């Protein structure tokens, strides 16, 4: 099995950042309107063990819509860096944000420093500029950092390729399953894992992942659907109609989610909702949430995991978007879309010789041609329409798992982006 590349230098570097192999959990409140942002520190806590990456601690794999960076107070050395996106920032682009102020919970897991450190959180606007920031000191001797000694929730490993220091740990979490439905959840979790690993390049890197199914019990079976007046008592309080969108299923209770998972090693989270209603959501380095009972469960869980694990953008588009997310004078940070502002940083090197930019639409069933032996690489191009915008934003392939449920796989560009993230987590760069 290909294992984590682990030099003595990087191991020592990790020990400097987290001498006692502990996790610092930092809870924040992000609040504001469509034009304002405020970051507030809520609470800090610590628990034994660190399930995060052990390499490339001073870097973030992609920019994201925000970053959290921990720096040694005395040395000025970056101890840990991570990029992320938030539901709060998505909400800021809605019509509701123009007329009301709201707050959202956000939780980040960092390696506990051995000495005083400064943690800085930054949020970025749609053009990639810093829109809000907060810095605060973490003192490992601070008596108000809450010590957590959790009793792990019921769980079982579906795949254990190695220790938490070797592999990427994915927690598949039950939402809306009662105690009596635990076996059903474990079967759904098995399906989710197998479906993810059936998509390349996840299958190629299977031995770098651990998957653990966490059977959080809910009082009620199913999840809340506010549009139907249906509210359920569930483990994570998730609901449809997020931002008044019928199929957008999310949870706002991030503190509750991390409370319930404490004691089970995890780095990334996939939440399965026990409902046959179509929907879901995926937030980069936060969570994937999807419905396990719908016929489109398999393609949707993979699509949403593409968002949460890799930060891939949606490649579908509309003609009536409330707000533009991407602008011609800025290059998106997501690796599978471009405005052509800085296309050389994207998949220009993967274009077949002579490919027109933009590339003309492809007619017919592209998947049939591949079954007949045509290489997928031959259709990599620059196709207009992506990132919810029909004009000015481009995707790399006619169809892809990030575009439709009918697509059979991730396109070559998305596959490369996923592989880069996996290698970033498991190999010293």
Q: How far apart are CA 415 and CA 396, in angstroms?
A: 11
- Dump pLDDT digits (tens) for 132-150: 999 999 999 999 999 999 8
How far is the C-alpha of 96 from the C-alpha of 282, rounded, in Å? 21
Is the pLDDT assigned to residue 38 strictly greater than 90?
A: yes
CA dihedral 208, 86, 288, 422 (to 10 degrees): -20
Task: Enumerate the domain spans of the chain.
Answer: 8-147, 155-310
User: What's the CATH class of domain 155-310?
Assistant: alpha beta
Distance CA 206, CA 158 (A): 12
- For residue 1, pLDDT over 80 is answered with no
pLDDT top residue among 19 and 261: 261
Q: How many CB atoms lie within 10 A of CB 420?
A: 16
Has domain 8-147 been given CATH number 2.60.40.3250?
yes
Q: 350-385 as b/e, with b when 16 or more CB fall inside 10 Å?
A: ebeeeeeeebeeeeeebbeeeeeeeebeebbbbbbb
The pLDDT tens digits of the residues spanning 166-205 come to 999 999 999 999 999 999 999 999 999 999 999 999 999 9
Arithmetic mean of pLDDT, 213-228: 98
Residue 369 confidence class, pLDDT cut points 50, 70, 90: confident
- Mapped onto helix, strand or coil, the DSSP state of residue 97 is helix
Which pLDDT score is estimated for 20?
A: 57
Counting residues of the chain whose pLDDT is more than 70, the rounded percentage is 94
Reduce the DSSP state of residue 279 to 3 states and report it.
coil
Residue with tokens 């996939």: 270
**Tokens linked to 250:** 């999310």
Is the pLDDT at 321 greater than 70, yes or no? no
Is-same-fold flag (8-147; 155-310)? no
Which parts of 128-260 are beta strand (E)? 130-138, 146-147, 155-160, 168-175, 209-214
pLDDT given for residue 319 in this prediction? 72
Rounded to 5 degrees, φ, ψ at 93 are -90, 5
- Nearest-angstrom CA–CA distance, 307 and 400: 13
């Amino acid at each position: 099995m290909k294992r984590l590349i682990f030099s003595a230098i990087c191991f020592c570097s990790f020990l400097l950042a987290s001498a006692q192999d502990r996790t610092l959990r930092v809870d924040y409140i992000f609040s504001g309107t469509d034009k304002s942002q405020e970051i507030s520190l809520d609470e800090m806590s610590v628990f034994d063990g660190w399930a995060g990456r052990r390499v490339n601690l001073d870097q973030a794999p992609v920019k994201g819509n925000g970053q959290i960076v921990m720096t040694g107070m005395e040395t000025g050395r970056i101890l840990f860096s991570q990029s992320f996106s938030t539901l709060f920032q998505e909400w800021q682009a809605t019509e509701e944000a123009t007329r009301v102020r709201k707050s959202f919970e956000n939780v980040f897991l960092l390696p506990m420093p051995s000495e005083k450190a400064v943690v800085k959180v930054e949020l970025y606007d749609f053009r990639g500029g810093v829109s809000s920031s907060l810095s605060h000191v973490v003192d490992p001797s601070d008596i108000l950092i809450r010590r957590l000694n959790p009793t792990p929730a019921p769980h079982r490993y579906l795949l254990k390729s190695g220790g938490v220091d070797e592999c990427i740990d994915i927690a598949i979490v039950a939402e809306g399953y009662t105690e009596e439905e635990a076996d059903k959840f474990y079967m759904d979790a098995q399906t989710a894992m197998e479906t993810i690993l059936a998509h390349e390049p996840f299958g190629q890197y299977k031995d770098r992942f651990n998957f653990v199914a966490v059977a959080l019990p809910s009082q009620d079976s199913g999840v809340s659907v506010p549009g139907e007046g249906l509210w359920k008592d569930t483990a994570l309080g998730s609901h449809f109609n997020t931002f008044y969108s019928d199929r957008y299923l999310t949870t706002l209770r991030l503190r509750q989610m991390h409370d319930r998972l404490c004691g089970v090693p995890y780095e990334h989270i996939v939440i399965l909702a026990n409902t046959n209603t179509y929907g879901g959501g995926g937030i980069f380095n936060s969570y994937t949430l999807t419905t396990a009972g719908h016929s489109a469960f398999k393609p949707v869980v993979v699509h949403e995991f593409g968002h949460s694990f890799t930060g891939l953008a949606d490649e579908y588009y509309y003609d009536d978007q409330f707000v533009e997310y991407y602008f011609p004078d800025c290059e998106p940070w997501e690796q599978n879309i471009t405005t052509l502002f800085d296309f050389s940083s994207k998949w220009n090197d993967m274009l077949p010789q002579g490919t027109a930019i933009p590339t003309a639409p492809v007619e017919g069933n592209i998947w049939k041609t591949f079954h007949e032996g045509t290489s997928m690489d031959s259709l990599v191009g620059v196709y207009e329409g992506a990132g919810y915008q029909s004009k000015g934003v481009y995707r790399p392939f006619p169809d892809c798992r990030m575009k439709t449920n009918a697509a059979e796989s991730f396109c070559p560009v998305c596959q490369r982006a996923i592989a880069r993230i996996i290698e970033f987590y498991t190999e010293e760069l």
